[in-house]
Structure 1
Amino acid sequence: MPDQLLLAIQIANGYGPQPGSWRMPGVDPRSYTDMDVFARYAQAAERGKIQLVFLADTPALENDISRAVPNHSIDPLVVLTTMARATQRIGLVATASTTLNEPYTIARQFKALDVASHGRAGWNAVPTSLPAAAANYGIALPPRAQKYQRVHEVVQVVQALWGSWERDAWVLDAERRQFADTDKIRPVGLQGEHVAARGPLPIPPSEQGQPVVFQAGGGGNGLEVAARYADGVYANPFSIAEGRAHRDALRAAAVAVGRDPDEVKLFAGFMPSIAGSRREALDRRRRLDEVVDLDQRVGYLGSMLGLRLEPAQLDEPLTADQLAAARPSPGDPRAPHALQVAREGWTLRDVLAHGVIDYHPVVPGTAEDVADHMQAWFEAGACDGFSLAIDVYADGIDAFVDQVVPILQRRGLFHLDYEGPTLRENLGVPDQYGLDPRLTA
C-alpha cells in the first residue's frame, strides 16, 4: 500500500451530482455556464492540495432537465482551460470518448491543455455506451468488442502523436534563426483497423512530457485497457471487499503486461455530505431529494431488500416483520448496506437520504465520519485514493477542504503540499513520452 491516499474531485455541471443541487441555499442557479464559478471550485480544491479535478463527459442531454440539473458540464475542455488559468498545481482531467472522437483531435486538444497548464492535464480514455451520444455524431454504437478494439487503437495513436516531437525539438534559437529542429519532428504514420493518423502534432512537449492517461470502463475489457495504458482508474466499488478485489485484479493485470503495479492508481468513487451531525447531513440530503421521484425510489429500495414497499410508508421505518423478512438482493452490491441502514431504525425517507441507491457509497455525517470511512477503505487496501462527488459544490467543497482534509493530514493519510508542479509528480507515476516502450517492444 502507498503511504498516503490520493484525491480527485469530480466537478460536473456547476452545482453538484444530486438532481436538486441547483436549488440549495447559496447556489447561483446560473452556475451551469458561469466559468468564474468553476474557477472558484478549482481554487478551493487546490487550497486543499487535492491532486486533480475530474470532469466526466457524455456528449448528450441524458436526463430530464425540467427540474433536475444536467449531468455534465457544457464542455469539459473549455471548463478545464478556465481552471488552468485560475490555478497552479491541481491536475486537470477530462473524459473524451474513443468511440466518437478521432485520435488526432484528442491528441491535439489534450496536449494543448497540457502545455497551457504547464504539465497538469490528463485524459480519461473510455468508449461510449449511450446511443443518444452516438446519434449526436451521426453513428450507431458498434458492438462492445469492436468498441474496445478501437480504444486500444485510439490510445496508441494518441500517445504516438503526443511523442511526435522529440523532447529537444523546440530549439528557439533566435541568433541562428532556428525555431525548431524539424529532423526531430516526425509523422507517426499509424494505420489500424478502425483509426489512423499521419501526424505530427503542432505542439511541443509539456513540463510533464504528455498528459496522464486515465480509464473508467468496467469488466474484463476495461481492466485490460487500464492495465496497459492507465495511470489512474476510476472505479465504483460499494464495499471494502469489492474495492480490494478490483484493485488486486487491476494490479495483477498490470504485472501481466510488464508494468509495475504501483504505477496504476485506483480511485474509488465516494459521495460525502458534511454537516455538524448525522441528522443535519440527512436533512441536507433530504432537501436535495425534493426534486426526485421518491415513490419510485421506495419501490426500488423494496426490490433491493426483497420486500414490497409502498410510498405510504415513506416516513416510517421498516416494521419488525419486514426486517425479519428482508433479504438483500444478490444482484445489487448496494443492498447489504441498505439493509444495515434500515436496521438502525431510520424512516424510509432517511434510509434513502443515506444514499443507499446512489452510484457511489455515501457518508452523511461529520467531517470525522467522512475521514473515518476514507481511512478504513484506504488502510484495508480497497483503493489508492478517492474520487469525490461532493453533494453541493458551492459549500461542500469548502467544507471538505477546511474540515476533512486537516483530519486526514493529522492522521498522516494525506500529503501536506503538492510534490511538484506536474500531475505526474503529484500522482507519483513515472515519466512517459510517446508510446510505452514496454508495450511496443
Structure 2
Amino acid sequence: MTDSDAGRTALHIALEADGDGAHPAAWRHSGRPPAAVLTSAALRDVLAAAEGAGFTLVTFADSPLPPGTGPGTAAGRLEAGTRAAYVAPLTDRIGLAPTLHVATTEPFHLATQLASLDHASHGRAGWVVGAAAGPDDLATVGGAAPAAAALHREIADVIDTARALWDSWQDDAVIKDVATGRFVDSRRIRHIDFEGPTFSVKGPLITPRPPQGQLVVLVPDTLDADARADVVLVGRPDPAAVAARAGQAREAGAPLVFADVEVVLDAGRPAAARLAELDGAAEWPASGAVRHVGSPEQLVDLLGRLAESVDGVRLHPAVLAVDLPVLTERVLPKLAAAGLTRAPRAGATLRETLGLPRPANRFAAAATSN
C-alpha cells in the first residue's frame, strides 16, 4: 500500500492479541480476574481499540496445550478460530488471522473454518500457520510426534491442500437459478483429490470460494515455507538480522515480510522497571524476536528503521491492558503523521489492505485453457 502524499510505502502494523499479553505474568497486571480473559468483553475491548487506532490486522495465538501452568493461568484460552469468528461481525476494516496448527487439525476442517471466517468478515481473514508438533501436542489428538522432515512435508501439504480447497468452488458456482431450482452449478465445483503420506482429501470444500479467493497465509520464518506464504513473519533479534532474513524470504518468492517485535513501554514508570517486576513473577523466555524495552518515541524510531527492510511489523505487547493504550495513543498516531502507516478503509478486504491481488481460481483457469 503506497502513501502517495509521503511518497513512501506504508508500514502495516499488526497486533498479537492473545490472552492478557505476551509476557507470562501479564495476567497479574490486567486489572481483572484471570478468568476474565475468557469473556467476550475482554476480546471486544481489545479489537475495538486496535481497529480504532488503525492496526492493519490482529493475530490470535493458539496451542493444542493450555497457555501455561503457573498461578493464574488455569483460565486457559479459547480456540483462536472461534475468537476471530466472534469479532468478525463486530469489526469492519481490521484483518483477523487466527493460528491453526497443521499437525493437530484435520486439513479439510482447517480450510473450511478459515473459509467460513473469510465469509463472516467479508474478506478480512488470514491464517497464521502453526506447527506445534511435540509429543504432548500430538497426544491431544491421539497421534505421535513426527520427525522433522515429515513435519516439514506436512506443513507444505496442508498449506497446498487448503489453497486447493479454497479454489474448489469457482467464483460463479452459486447460480441461484429459480427456474430450474438449482442453487449451484455442479460443473463449477471440483474435487481436489489430494493424496499424501499422512492424509488425503477428496474435496470439494463445503462452503463457496472465500471472498478473497485465497486467504492471506502468514508463515513464521522458522517453518521454512517462505515460498508458500503471502506474509513471512520474521523473528530475529535486531534490525540487521531482520533485514537479512527478509531478503531470504523475498528471494524465495514471499510477497510481503513482517517483523515480530515484542514491546514493553514506558507507562507511568520506566519500561525497564515494569519488565523487572514482570520477570520477578515469571521469566519471559527469549523468542528470538526484536524486543523493545523503552519509550514510545524510541519504538517509533525502531519501526522507522525496520520499515527500510520489511513491509510490516507484528507487535507483541507485554501487557495488553498497559501497553496497548500507549500504542494507540502515542505510537500509531506518530507513525501516521510521519507517513509510515495508515489505517485500513472500511469494507476493504485484507488482501486489498495489504496490496495483494485476488488470485484467479486455478480450476477455472485450467478449464479456460482447455
The CA deviation string for residues 194-222 of structure 1, in whole angstroms up to 9 with x for no partner, is 2211111121123212311111151xxx3
For 1:251 and 1:89, locate their aligned partners in 2 and report how far apart those are by CA, in whole Å: 27
Equivalent residue number for residue 250 of structure 1: 249
The alpha carbon displacement at 1:269 in A equals 1.3
Whichever residue aligns with residue 60 of structure 1, its letter is: L
Is the CA contact 2:192–2:204 (under 8 Å) kept in the aligned structure 1? Answer: yes
Q: CA deviation at 1:26?
A: 2.8
SS for the counterpart of 1:238 is coil
The superposition leaves residues 46-82 of structure 1 with CA deviations (integer Å, 9 ceiling, x where unpaired) of: 1122111111222112532325577x73210111111
Contact 1:21 1:69 in 2 (8 A): no
Report the RMSD for the aligned CA atoms in angstroms. Answer: 2.6
**SS of the counterpart of 1:30?**
helix
Counterparts of residues 157-236 of structure 1 (less than 5 Å)? 157-174=161-178, 176-218=180-222, 222-223=223-224, 225-227=225-227, 229-236=228-235
Q: 2:273 matched to 1:274?
A: no
The answer to whether the 8 Å contact 1:8/1:387 transfers is yes
For residue 82 of structure 1, what is the aligned residue in structure 2?
Answer: 86
% of aligned pairs identical? 29
Match of 1:6 among 9, 12, 28: 12
- SS for the counterpart of 1:93 is strand
Larger Rg: 1
- Map residues 293-308 of structure 1 onto 2, 5 A cutoff: none
User: Partner of 2:348 in structure 1?
Assistant: 421
Equivalent position amino acid for 2:300 in 1? A
Q: Is residue 61 from structure 1 mapped to residue 82 from structure 2 by the alignment?
A: no
Q: Does the aligned pair in 2 maintain the 1:390–1:396 contact within 8 Å?
A: yes
* Contact preservation (8 Å) 2:167, 2:363: no
Shift of 1:9: 0.6
Map of 1:20 onto structure 2 = 25
For residue 244 of structure 2, what is the amino acid of its counterpart?
A
Which of 318, 322, 325 is the equivalent residue of 1:398? 325
Pick which of 370-379 and 104-113 moved more: 370-379
Q: Distance in 1 between matches of 2:173 and 2:362?
A: 17
Q: Which amino acid aligns with 2:176?
A: L
3-state DSSP of counterpart to 1:234: strand
Q: 1:125 aligns with which of 123, 129, 139?
A: 129
Contact 1:233 1:267 in 2 (8 A): yes
Letter in 1 for 2:257: L
Residue in 1 aligned with 2:239? 240
1:139 aligns with 143
Shift of 1:388: 0.7
Instruction: Please state how far the C-alpha of 1:171 moved relative to its aligned partner.
Output: 1.5
Instruction: Name the CA distance, whole Å, in 1 between partners of 2:340 and 2:179.
Output: 51
Q: Is the 8 A contact 2:56 2:343 kept in 1?
A: no
Q: Contact 1:9–1:50 at 8 Å: present in 2 too?
A: yes
Q: Quick one: which amino acid aligns to residue 377 of structure 1?
A: L
- 1:363 and 1:132 map into 2 onto residues whose CA distance is 32
Conserved? CA contact 2:135–2:144, under 8 Å: yes
Gaps of 5+ in 1: 255-260, 294-354
What secondary structure does 1:89 align onto? coil
- Cα distance in 2 for partners of 1:169, 1:155 equals 23
What is the CA-CA distance between 1:191 and the residue it aligns to? 1.4
Q: Retained in 2: the 8 A contact 1:20–1:287?
A: no
CA distance change for structure 1 residues 107 and 17 in 2, over 3 Å: closer, same or farther?
Answer: same
Tell me how far apart the structure 2 counterparts of residues 176 and 133 of structure 1 sit (CA, whole Å).
Answer: 49
Question: Of 312, 337, 341, which residue of structure 2 is paired with 1:410?
Answer: 337
Show the counterpart of 1:333. none
Moved more, 412-421 or 81-90: 412-421
Q: Deviations over 1:245-276 (max 9, x none)?
A: 1011111111xxxxxx5x2x222111222335
Instruction: Select the structure that is richer in strand.
Output: 2
Within 5 A, what are the aligned runs for 1:286-297?
Answer: 286-292=276-282
Matches of 1:88 and 1:364, distance apart in 2: 32
Q: Which residues of 2 match residues 10-49 of structure 1 at below 5 A?
A: 10-13=16-19, 15-24=20-29, 26-49=31-54
Once the two structures are TM-superposed, the CA of residue 84 in structure 1 deviates from its matched residue by 0.8
Change (3 A) 1:116 1:356: closer
Residues 419 and 426 of structure 1 are in contact (CA less than 8 Å); yes or no, is this contact kept in structure 2?
A: no
Q: Is the 8 A contact 1:126 1:217 kept in 2?
A: no
The TM-score, its normalising length taken from structure 2, stands at 0.89
1:164-204 deviation per Cα after TM superposition (whole angstroms, max 9, x unaligned): 11101111244553311122112222212222111111211
